[in-house]
């Protein structure tokens, strides 16, 4: 038995948190309500680039995020990655966040290749 929070509950809380902080965010694609994994597409408005974060579980069993592809990509590159991910896993959730100041809320740590921070 996993004590992981159902995906739709986590997403509801995350969207509420973004709303409270004045950060525009919406669900682009809905996945499995209980166990669907999540991709965050974070649009950095001033540079018109994106960061894709894929939900992972770290070795300690905690939620973490890993950068998918290159750290700063175009919207077209991000959307192509998302479509490939949806083709592989139709239960995946896609959440888009507009981030003007690079201060979006993030639960869990960010894992980068070769290091964690």
7-116 belongs to which CATH class? alpha beta
Q: What is the pLDDT of residue 115?
A: 43
Mind listing the pLDDT tens digit for each residue in 14-69? 999 999 988 899 999 998 888 888 999 999 888 889 999 998 888 888 888 898 87
Whether the predicted pLDDT of 113 surpasses 70: no
Comparing 52 with 5, which gets the higher pLDDT?
52
Q: Work out the average pLDDT over 85-101.
A: 91
Domain ranges in the chain are 7-116
| pTM for this predicted structure | 0.83
Average pLDDT, the chain: 85
The DSSP annotation for the chain comes to ---PPPHHHHHHHHHHHHHHTT--EEEEE---TTT--EEEEEEETTTTEEEEEEEEE-TTS-EEEEE-SSSSB-HHHHHHHHHHHHHH-TT-EEEEEEESSS----SSEEEETTEE-
Percent with pLDDT over 90 in the chain? 44
């Amino acid at each position: 038995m996993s004590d992981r929070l159902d995906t739709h509950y986590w997403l509801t809380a995350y969207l509420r948190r973004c709303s409270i902080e004045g950060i525009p965010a919406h669900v682009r694609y809905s996945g499995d309500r209980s166990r669907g994994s999540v991709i965050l597409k974070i649009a950095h408005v001033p540079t018109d680039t994106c960061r894709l974060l894929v939900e992972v579980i770290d070795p300690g069993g905690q939620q973490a995020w890993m950068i998918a592809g290159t750290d700063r990509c175009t919207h077209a590159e991000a959307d192509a990655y998302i479509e490939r991910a949806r083709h592989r896993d139709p239960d995946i959730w896609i959440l888009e966040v507009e981030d003007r100041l690079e201060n979006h809320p993030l639960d869990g740590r960010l894992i980068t290749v070769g290091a964690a921070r």
